[in-house]
Structure 1
Amino acid sequence: MKKAQGWRVVVVAISAFVLLVLVAAAWLYRDYRHFAGTPLMQTTTHSIDIPRGATLKSIIVMLQARGTTHAPELYWRALAAGMGVSDRLHAGEYALDPGLTPRTLLSRMAEGRVVQHMFTLVDGWTFAQVRAALAQAPKLRHTLQHLSDAQVAQRLGIEAPNPEGWLLPQTYAYVLGDSDMDVLRRAHAAMQRTLAADWAARAPGLPLQTPYQALILASIVEKESALASERPRIAGVFVRRLQIGMKLQTDPSVIYGLGVAYHGAITYKDLQTDTAYNTYTRYGLPPTPICMPGAPALYAALHPAPGKALYFVARGNGTHQFSDTLQEQNAAVAKYILHRQP
């Protein structure tokens, strides 16, 4: 009788223990399920940089150290195992957005959906401006500081003294680990494609012998035009001047040739100071582009508007007055420059 009672006590104890284990397991499972779909502990957008060779454990430690999660490692391991991604998490920079759940974060890491940063190369920038902007770009490896413009051109495979003009202005995406040279390579490849396509479809009879000459002319059109609608007309003026052997006489090329000697206002002395880029003292195109022309300026240079105008002058409101003769040009200059009439 006592033996039976002893066994009964043992059975009850075991049953109670099993029940306790089941209750605890059920609670843990419910807590785990809640963890997997509950947003991480943050209210603003941040990012986390996962280095190469990082393990799941080290990633969890990084998240815990940042206060992004207080969940135990066991939960993260169970979730990763259940998703089949424990050994498939990629290095890189990942966004930690408000509302992001552990499941979504692990999914991003498994798919390599890293943060993409954007760098915009603006129409009309010089290469010096490009270099300065790249130096300030976040999360980008900076390698240009000890390279000359000629060395950069060589690394890009550009057969010119510098990369001026050879980068297509638009927005380029890059990720953590990319370098400034990676961005330049993409911009150069984009310009090569655009220039090749426009050159192949160029208008007939242009006084341009090579795509590079088209690039030079496009850079002048870019600097001379504020309105997209005027670019073909401005290109037409310069094309006609080249055709008849007339000097281009464009201020932006003179300014480019002056370099650091230019102080914000072009003078008569500047126009008389001979440099390789002074189109008042020299005939033809300057030796290189004077900026990075955008695709519209490049298209205009290769598809100039027809007409007879050989001159133009700024009206002071962003538009230009075009003239066929020097007499008309002098009158326009008197009106819009000398007297500043509306």
Structure 2
Amino acid sequence: MRLIKKLIYLAIVCAIAGMVAFIFWAKNPITESGEPIPFTVTPGSGVGLASQQIARAGVPVQPFLFSMLARVTQNAGKIKAGSYELKPGTTPRQLINQLVRGEFAQESLTIIEGWTFKQMRAAIAARKSLNQDTAQLSDQELMSKISTEYKSPEGLFFPDTYLFAKNTSDLQIYKQAHALMLTRLNAAWEKRDASLPYKTPYEALIMASIVEKETGQKSERAMIAGVFVNRLRLNMMLQTDPTVIYGMGDSYAGNIRKKDLETDTPYNTYTRVGLPPTPIALPGAQSLAAALGPAKTEALYFVSRGDGSSQFSTNLPDHNKAVNQYQR
């Protein structure tokens, strides 16, 4: 009888010790240092299979204990499939919560202000961690999956840094960037001066793209927009080189010749009055702000000083002097 009592007592002590050890394990970091460990939980995995996948990926966790923790915390059926990272300092309990919340490992992709849509597509296509679901689509086919309003994609994606989980569809990046551009454009449109010579937000977007390509000086964007707005109001040709370059496409070899300025294309603002038919690049927030809030100026001309800044003039004689001084 005494032996039975001792065995029962020993069992209780062992159970308590095991429980304490289990709680201690659940609350202490799986790894203290080192690089994050990537792992993937495949769709349809139960907690047991998920625990094995995590361990096989190199996470130093015992699958049986991890499965037990998920069941004890009533999270066994809540784990989400996806790609994750175990960061140093993460405890088993925190890892369970990460899997339940679907806190997937994220990568980033930066779309640069002033890029063309062609450059954006190339950057997205180069990311092997994205599912390339749109790779075989033309620009027009891709746009049809994003918007029913616009057919040409140029300019309609906001340049920014986008976070995504591994194996996300590349279409999701396009949709996110397009939605953000519309949000920024419409917000700027609502605050515009009603006297501006734009009939639609899209026309303002075209102007913003021209401003984006005309200068790298953020402080001059409003002035340059002011010059182009003045020209639109007077029905003057915009005569801006970046539109000509865009219209030349792949034939542009790094310099513009007189012949190029005289060759008519829908984007040649030396041969056609008004805005080109589409944007010529992806404008950033400051170019949008400049296009819809241009400087109040009488200037009709500007020329580069060669140091990144521009000389603005209100009349052609002064402009020609500036061209002689800074360009010739």
TM-score, normalization by structure 1: 0.88
| 2:64 equivalent among 52, 71, 74 | 74
The structure-2 alpha-carbon separation of the partners of 1:285 and 1:158, relative to structure 1 and needing over 3 Å to count, comes to farther
Q: Which amino acid aligns with 1:65?
A: R
Alpha-carbon deviation of 1:309? 0.9
| 1:104 equivalent among 94, 97, 111 | 94
Alpha-carbon deviation of 1:298? 1.4
Asked if 1:60 corresponds to 2:14, the answer is: no
| 2:40 equivalent among 38, 45, 49 | 49
SS of 1:156's equivalent in the other structure is coil
Matches within 5 A, 1:242-281: 242-281=232-271
Q: Which amino acid aligns with 2:40?
A: D
Greater Cα shift, 86-95 or 33-42: 33-42
Q: Distance in 1 between matches of 2:189 and 2:23?
A: 61
Percent of residue pairs bearing the same amino acid type = 42
| 1:130 equivalent among 100, 120, 133 | 120
The structure-2 alpha-carbon separation of the partners of 1:104 and 1:260, relative to structure 1 and needing over 3 Å to count, comes to same
Question: CA contact under 8 A between 2:40 and 2:54: conserved in structure 1?
Answer: no
Unaligned runs of 5+ in 1: 1-10
Question: CA contact under 8 A between 2:48 and 2:64: conserved in structure 1?
Answer: no
- 1:85 aligned partner: 75
Unaligned runs of 5+ in 2: none
SS of 1:167's equivalent in the other structure is coil
Question: CA contact under 8 A between 2:40 and 2:53: conserved in structure 1?
Answer: no
Question: CA contact under 8 A between 2:301 and 2:312: conserved in structure 1?
Answer: yes
Question: CA contact under 8 A between 1:52 and 1:91: conserved in structure 2?
Answer: yes
Question: CA contact under 8 A between 1:152 and 1:162: conserved in structure 2?
Answer: no
Question: CA contact under 8 A between 2:225 and 2:295: conserved in structure 1?
Answer: yes
Please list the CA deviations of residues 235-292 of structure 1 after superposition, one character each: whole Å capped at 9, or x if unmatched: 1111111111211110111111111111122222222222111111221111110001
Off by >6 Å, runs of 4+ in structure 1: none
- 1:37 aligned partner: 27
| 1:216 equivalent among 206, 214, 218 | 206
Please list the CA deviations of residues 26-58 of structure 1 after superposition, one character each: whole Å capped at 9, or x if unmatched: 443343233212322472113222122111111
RMSD: 2.0
Alpha-carbon deviation of 1:158? 4.7
Q: Distance in 2 between matches of 1:31 and 1:138?
A: 42
SS of 2:162's equivalent in the other structure is strand
- 2:180 aligned partner: 190
SS of 1:255's equivalent in the other structure is helix
Asked if 1:303 corresponds to 2:284, the answer is: no
Alpha-carbon deviation of 1:23? 5.0
Alpha-carbon deviation of 1:19? 5.0
Alpha-carbon deviation of 1:178? 2.8
Alpha-carbon deviation of 1:176? 3.6
Q: Which amino acid aligns with 1:68?
A: V
| Greater gyration radius | 1
Alpha-carbon deviation of 1:161? 4.0
Question: CA contact under 8 A between 1:153 and 1:159: conserved in structure 2?
Answer: no
Aligned residues: 327
Asked if 1:241 corresponds to 2:257, the answer is: no
Alpha-carbon deviation of 1:160? 4.0
Alpha-carbon deviation of 1:120? 2.4
Alpha-carbon deviation of 1:171? 2.5
Question: CA contact under 8 A between 2:154 and 2:282: conserved in structure 1?
Answer: yes
Please list the CA deviations of residues 192-240 of structure 1 after superposition, one character each: whole Å capped at 9, or x if unmatched: 2222232232213222222211111111011112122211110111111
Q: Distance in 1 between matches of 2:309 and 2:124?
A: 32
Q: Which amino acid aligns with 2:64?
A: L
Q: Distance in 2 between matches of 1:172 and 1:132?
A: 15
Question: CA contact under 8 A between 2:130 and 2:166: conserved in structure 1?
Answer: yes
Question: CA contact under 8 A between 1:247 and 1:283: conserved in structure 2?
Answer: yes
Asked if 1:169 corresponds to 2:169, the answer is: no
| 2:305 equivalent among 299, 315, 321 | 315
Q: Which amino acid aligns with 2:181?
A: M
